[in-house]
A and B are shown apart, each in its own frame.
With several copies, the nearest count.
Chain A
Amino acid sequence: MTEAHTIAGKERMSRDFIAAVIARRFPKGWLVNLGVGMPTMVGGYVHPDQEIVFTSENGVIGYGGILSGNDVDPDVVNAGVQFVDLVPGAAIVHHADSFALIRRGMNHVTVLGCYEVAQDGSFANWRTSMGEWDNLGGIGGAMDLAACAQQVWVMMEHTTREGAPRLLEHCVLPVTAPSGVTMAFTDLGVFSVKNGRFTLEEYAPGWTPEEIAALTGAPLDISPTVSEVQFPR
């Protein structure tokens, strides 16, 4: 435990809280790709009025929430191979057409899980080893999405279990893309990533910008309109 991490005796935002914070930020009618892991939770927090279309790498265009129980359709899954339902107006395409649409820039945003994000917009989410290149890792569709979505948002823990920052000046792990992240959502706040700088836009309830800056591995600007994160209704 680093000294900085002791600040974290305070409660951080839950994954569901972060998912809701992300979900409310989608402008109406956006096409959204949700990555494997934490991001798949975001689908549960959009409002019908937002008319968000969720797309998945496996060619599902227009799915709803994650399902469980015995009523699931075994042939309807999202990118995390979780059972989901199709919404009215859904369409299915094959994998090559799915990535054709992704590369074409169909997605207004992709929300991806993340180990590290740097102030230049690079991020790392597919390999935890820094060793020599040995073709080991789990990329999935993240590199295609990161290179081609109109925006890349990352959803992540602000620090490692040991308290080391995950928002950095430079990524230490191999990157998923050398640039592109515009927003980072952590358990401590909402950060924009622009012009090579992190800016704190919203902070977790009970936290101060200074406490968050102390847990951040890069210079942190504070937005003039910074405020506490509101849990969306």
Chain B
Amino acid sequence: MARPIICNSMAEAVSDIPDGIQLLVPGFGPGTPHNLLTALFNTSVKDIHAVVNGVGFPSAATDGRKSLGDLIAQGRVRKVTAAFTAPTHPSQQSIAAEMIRTGKMEAELVPQGTLAERVRAGGAGIPAFYTPAGVGTLTATGKEHRDFNGRTYVMEEAIFADYAFIRAWKADTAGNLIFRLAARNFNPIFAMGAKHTIVEVENPIVPAGELPPDQIHTPGVVIEKLVQIPPDGFFRDVPRA
């Protein structure tokens, strides 16, 4: 089998990422590639166009982990495409929202299902599709509308990114991935939606053949690099309660 590269460190895994990339960042609470994001934060990469569910906040963690919010706060994110670009409640403040409001960062706000499907389409060689989500709202402004069977839909174009950071539960040396429960979320579709897909793995990477072919969530053929989360890495989100 064609094999992905197995990197020795998070730093190595992100070492050749250039400025200006479009980057897919999965996660919905669990399933966020904290280790790769932290490694990227520790490079000088900038002008990133991040595709992510929510722009988030700078990390409040004291263990050194960084989030997309930290990259945003440093002005290294040129644009975000997200389902949450600002807190819904006016009482909450967000650096990202302030940067968008003042023109320091470009933003594209899209319905969450549209975001997921645009990346799925990109990874599936489909340049555009129609969805009913957002019709009659500001998010459909300027987009092409079309009726099918008496209902109005809006055309949405695919996203196929330069890079994807992925967080997997298990992986084999062929790059096959298994995710755990709700940590799956955007990971399988984002793994297919980029030219270069880099995966941080929670468990030891096992030899090809050890993961049952029927239980693979992401086939290894789309994976470029794997790196195991080291003992001092950021392993799991800590329960908040």
Do chains A and B directly touch (beta carbons under 8 Å) in the complex? yes
Query: With contacts A74-B236, A75-B182, A87-B1 known, is A92 near B111, CB below 8 A?
Result: no
Query: With contacts A74-B30, A98-B116, A103-B132 known, is A86 near B213, CB below 8 A?
Result: yes
- Stretch binding the partner chain, chosen from A138-146, A209-217, A221-229: A138-146
Beta-carbon contact of A104 and B123 below 8 Å: yes
Question: In chain A between 91 and 108, which residues have their CB closer than 8 angstroms to a CB of chain B?
Answer: 91-106
Which residue of the partner chain B has the closest CB to A141?
B112
Beta-carbon contact of A70 and B132 below 8 Å: no
Residues of A within 8 A of B209 (CB): 87-89
Question: In chain A between 120 and 138, which residues have their CB closer than 8 angstroms to a CB of chain B?
Answer: 122, 125-129, 133-138
Query: With contacts A87-B1, A103-B131 known, is A72 near B241, CB below 8 A?
Result: yes
Beta-carbon contact of B101 and A134 below 8 Å: yes
Beta-carbon contact of B138 and A91 below 8 Å: no
Identify whether the interface residues of A are mostly helix, strand, loop, or mixed. Answer: loop
Smallest Cβ distance from B215 to chain A, in angstroms? 9
- Stretch binding the partner chain, chosen from A56-64, A183-191, A200-208: A56-64
- Judged by a CB distance under 8 angstroms, whether B232 is at the interface is no
Residues of A within 8 A of B101 (CB): 134, 136
Query: With contacts A99-B117, A101-B192 known, is A147 near B134, CB below 8 A?
Result: yes
Beta-carbon contact of A144 and B239 below 8 Å: no
Count class of interface residues, chain B:
35 or more
User: With the chains together, A100 CA to B236 CA distance in Å?
Assistant: 28
Give the number of residue pairs across the A-B interface with Cβ within 8 Å: 239
- Judged by a CB distance under 8 angstroms, whether B133 is at the interface is yes
Residues of B within 8 A of A143 (CB): 111, 113-114, 133-134, 137, 139
Query: With contacts A77-B29, A92-B184, A178-B136 known, is A31 near B213, CB below 8 A?
Result: no
Partner of A51, one of B3, B100, B217: B3
Beta-carbon contact of A147 and B1 below 8 Å: no
- Judged by a CB distance under 8 angstroms, whether A90 is at the interface is yes
Partner of A92, one of B133, B173, B182, B239: B182
User: Given contacts A74-B236, A138-B85, could you give 6 more A-B pairs where the C-beta distance is less than 8 Å?
Assistant: A62-B213, A76-B182, A77-B29, A91-B176, A92-B214, A143-B134
